[in-house]
Amino acid sequence: MNMMDDFKEIGHSMISPEKLLGRPLNDIETKYAPKELYVKGSMEIPLVCPRVSVIGTRNPSNKGVVNAQMIVKTLVENQAVVVSGLAAGIDTTAHQTAIEMGGKTIAVLGTPLNKVYPRKNFDLQKEIMENHLAISQFPIGYPTTKKNFVIRNRTMALISDATIIVEAGNTSGSLHQGWETIRLGRPLFILESVVNDPKLNWPQQMIEYGALELANTNDIFEFLPSKLIVNDIFS
């Protein structure tokens, strides 16, 4: 992917995942965790809990968009931070809905902070970098390739207390985060309508490894930490 710099000058910070989360990483988390993260935004660090990833296809159905909006609305009403990847489709809907609802959102990018992908999300990324939080594990000048977006899904799972897959096909990139969430031992939720879709083989495979079918968004709060700010043990 050949992309010009979208933001010519960008003031940002470099921190460790441990600093971002306010705690040491365990052995399982450490395996794929980046050494450093580049962050831009006004959100308090270490991050507030709970944080929930809302992810899915870049080409959602109308039902998928509505479901994403309803899920995010419930999360914001319960003071959860909405995490997503700033991709087209479900990710964009998740970020936009969180902002419209007066909540907080974190974008985990597959590009350096000074680049935008897709380009149509320039204004959304700018808003997030100013009033929420954008995170990248890729330094300024790092080349953007397709594998970067798979790598960032691991990081998105790492910083989230749970992940919800709203809608995804059998080859969706969201599945990478689903499996990583399971590997980390975090709650992974798959919408009931997705689980019951006969064209999909991955939901049942993930359920066999511990993923949970989600019929009511309120059910996820049984699996999440209460709203709290982790002590900054590194200060």
Q: If pLDDT is split at 50, 70 and 90, which confidence band does 145 have?
A: very high
| Single-letter residue type at 191 | L
Sign of CA dihedral 224, 228, 230, 231: negative
pLDDT, tens digit, 9 for 90 and up, residues 33-91: 999 999 999 999 999 889 999 999 999 999 999 999 999 999 999 999 999 999 999 99
Given this model, what pLDDT does residue 5 score? 60
Q: If pLDDT is split at 50, 70 and 90, which confidence band does 162 have?
A: very high
Asked if 47 and 132 count as a contact pair (C-beta separation under 8 A), the reply is no
Asked if 234 and 19 count as a contact pair (C-beta separation under 8 A), the reply is yes
The domain defined by 36-223 carries CATH number 3.30.420.40: no
- Residue for token pair 């935004």: 41
Given this model, what pLDDT does residue 225 score? 85
What are the angstrom distances between the C-alpha of 84 and each of 8, 9, 14, 78, 208?
A: 24, 24, 20, 17, 25
Domain regions of the chain by residue span: 36-223
Question: In terms of Cα–Cα distance, which of 131, 142, 81, 80 is closest to 109?
Answer: 142
The partner residues of 71 in beta bridges, in order of sequence, read none
